[in-house]
Amino acid sequence: MKNIKAYVNIKTDYDLINLRIKLLEEKELQIIKEKSSLEEFKTKLYDILNQIEEKLKDLKGIERELFYEVIVKGTNITRAVDKVSITYDVDPSTIWKYYYPKIKDDIKMIEKEAKSSEILV
């Protein structure tokens, strides 16, 4: 009888090992997919960072400060306008009228790209 139990135990171990190998192969595929999506996300974030840096290099004065406050620091646009107006001793309405329209499209584009590249990590 011991030979029969040994056979059953060996067979069970063999089946369990095969199941574990299959699970590991599936897990390996999932890890490869996750790594691929993280690499893609990393590339998108890198592109966004480059766009922000290039825009900061191109802008000067009030426009640069306003862009920096909104995009880099994440300040609400109204608060950023108030802060920049105090820094440059300029009326907020002047910033809204002359400076904000010049960077408005850039801000919206970067925010749109950032939202489209968000994933659950």
pLDDT of residue 24: 97
Residue range 6-18: mean pLDDT, rounded = 92
Exposure string over 11-27, b if 16+ CB within 10 A, otherwise e: eeeeeeeeeeeeeeeee
Model pTM above 0.75 = no
Q: Mean pLDDT across the chain, nearest whole number? A: 90
Per-residue pLDDT tens over the stretch 20-70? 999 999 999 999 999 999 999 899 899 999 999 999 999 999 999 999 999
Domain ranges of the chain: 2-116
